[in-house]
Structures are given as structure tokens and as C-alpha cells.
Amino acid sequence: MEHLLRLDDRTVLWAEERGNPAGSPLLLIMGANASGVVWPEPLLDRLGARHRVIRYDHRDTGRSSRVFADRPYAVRDLAEDAVAVLDALGVDRAHVVGMSMGGVLVQLLLLDHPDRLLSATVFATAALGAGLAGPDGASGQLPGPDPELLAYWQTMGEERDAEAELAWRVEHWRRLAGTVLPFDAAEFRALEERVRAHGGGARGTVAHALADQSGLDRGRELEANRVPTLVIEAPEDPVNPPPHAAHLVATIGAARMVTIPGMGHALPTSVLDRLAEEIEAHTAGVDGRASA
């Protein structure tokens, strides 16, 4: 079931819920400049067998409102949008899963809205105050993104026709996916075609790259977290390479880590079964303890 959720006089968020309506709610939070459609359908189907799965489009992505040009916002405001989605759908508490910037938003939820979370799962992300989630994107003692990827990002906002934009995006996924697992360009071209059809346009957004990052240097506060948190290490991630995941586990209280070999900063079919297994085991354990 699809929804258009009004936040204020200018902002509407697209959201979708599917799966088991009697299951515990599970909110998926995607990364920067990416709509909820980037979550793969097989993963949604797998998680939907036991959960009421909710995904949504961030502001300036997909079918949600384009507002940044007139009303610039901060990254931390995007975390409040996640709470607004839960409120609008009548969800008191949910398991939350965040990828990349979505993982940063989940950490803000752990700090500011722990009462709304049953559990948290994050992957391909950095701890608050570190890496791209640090002051001005500083990496500090942790490795930064691959230099070739950083150079490629400099071309993100360039003018391209629709076909060239599609080719740019497929190549971007190839660079994000890492070099260990085979890369299926056709799979990611089909993904980008779905994203384009969903959003109704060929051009992507760079709004989240421009959003205010103040208020993210809060990593030390995470030590007090008591929400069960799973950190999934993607060892081939060129954005947040090891030891970012280990640092995140050391930063967040009540956290543990598992590794998915070969996984990078992308969700190819080859990692979906293992990813779903780890998320399901984590949420099932929390639900089981709650029932007991």
C-alpha cells in the first residue's frame, strides 16, 4: 500500500508498506540522494514474510517533495522525517534498518528517539563524528573514501542527457560494489530504470550532499545506547572501508557486528540472502525476548 504523507505546507513524503500486516514493523532508511525504490524487491519480499515492512523516499528523491532549493535543511532533519513516517502510519515502535547515510540517521534515532525503536541495524555507514559523518566530512584516524571514487563524485552534478545519466549511475554502482563479487551491469541498469520510472525524471539529486551536517558530531553519546543494535560489516565498501564497522561497534552501546564477505556499498542479488538472514535473526531475537 502506497501513501503520500504530508509533513507541512510544502513537504510530502512517499511511503509504502507491504508484507505481513500482523508482523512487527520494520522501517528501511536508504542512503543519501537515493529513493526508497533502491531497496531490492527480493529483500523486501523476504523481510515481509515476518514483518510489516515500510520504506519511503527521502525529501528530494523519488515521489517526495523537492524542497531543498527553497528550504535548505540539515541531515539531522532527515532523521526526524523517519519519525514522522512512523507517526503518520500509526507505528509506535519499529525495527529500523539503515544503509549508508541511512545508518547515520539510525544513529540519530538511537540518541533522540530510542523509545521508538525495537532494534537497529546499520551497514555501509560511519559512526557519528567519524568519516563522512564527522565534522566537515573529516575522516580523522579512519580511512576515507577511495580517492578514485571521490574524483568520480566530482562529476555527479554535471549536465548529461538521459542515457548518459543512466550510464553514469551504473558505473557509479560498479565503483561502489567493490571488486570481489561479480558485478552485473544489467542488474543495476534495471534498478536505475525502476528508480527513474518511480521518480518520473532522469536527473538525480545532489541535495543531501549539500545539506547542513552540523549536529552530527555526537559519537560519544552513543555509548549509552541500550537499543539492540546490529552492525553489518561490508568489507569491500569503498566509502566506509574497514575498520569503520569495528569502530562503530566500539562506539555504540549494546552493539554487535557480523561480516558479509565480499559485500561493498551496494545491494547486488548475491548478498541479499545473507543480508536478510542477518537482519531476520536480529529482529527475531528482539521480538522473541519482547514476547517472553
Full set of structural domains in the chain with CATH = 2-291 (3.40.50.1820)
Query: What gap in Å lies between CA 236 and CA 276, rounded to an integer?
Result: 18
Out of 43-57, 88-102, 190-204, 240-254, least confident range: 190-204
Name the helix (H) or strand (E) containing 284. Answer: helix 269-291
Q: Tell me: the pLDDT tens digits for 190-237?
A: 999 999 999 977 666 788 888 889 999 999 999 999 999 999 999 999
Predicted local distance difference test score (pLDDT) of residue 258: 98
Q: Tell me: the pLDDT tens digits for 6-23?
A: 998 899 999 999 999 999
Name the helix (H) or strand (E) containing 207. Answer: helix 207-210
Amino acid identity for residue 79 in this structure: A
Handedness of CA 68, 71, 77, 82 (dihedral sign): negative
Q: Tell me: the pLDDT tens digits for 257-290?
A: 999 999 999 999 999 999 999 999 999 999 998 7
Residue 65 CA from chain centroid, whole number: 19
Closest by CA to 268, choosing from 202, 174, 199, 197, is 174
Predicted local distance difference test score (pLDDT) of residue 202: 63
Closest by CA to 108, choosing from 81, 76, 134, 136, is 76
Asked if 111 contacts 224 with a C-beta cutoff of 8 angstroms, the reply is no
Give the C-alpha distances (Å, rounded to integers) separating 233 from 71, 256, 265.
Answer: 35, 10, 10
Asked if residue 189 has pLDDT above 80, the reply is yes
Secondary structure, 3-state, 30-53? CCCCCCHHHCCHHHHHHHHCCEEE
For the record, the C-alpha cell of 40 comes out as 531490492
One of 24, 35, 65, 100 is an active-site residue; which one? 100
- In the annotation, is 265 catalytic? yes
One of 58, 95, 208, 265 is an active-site residue; which one? 265
Asked if 87 contacts 115 with a C-beta cutoff of 8 angstroms, the reply is no
One of 24, 237, 244, 282 is an active-site residue; which one? 237
Asked if residue 111 has pLDDT above 60, the reply is yes
- In the annotation, is 24 catalytic? no
- In the annotation, is 57 catalytic? no
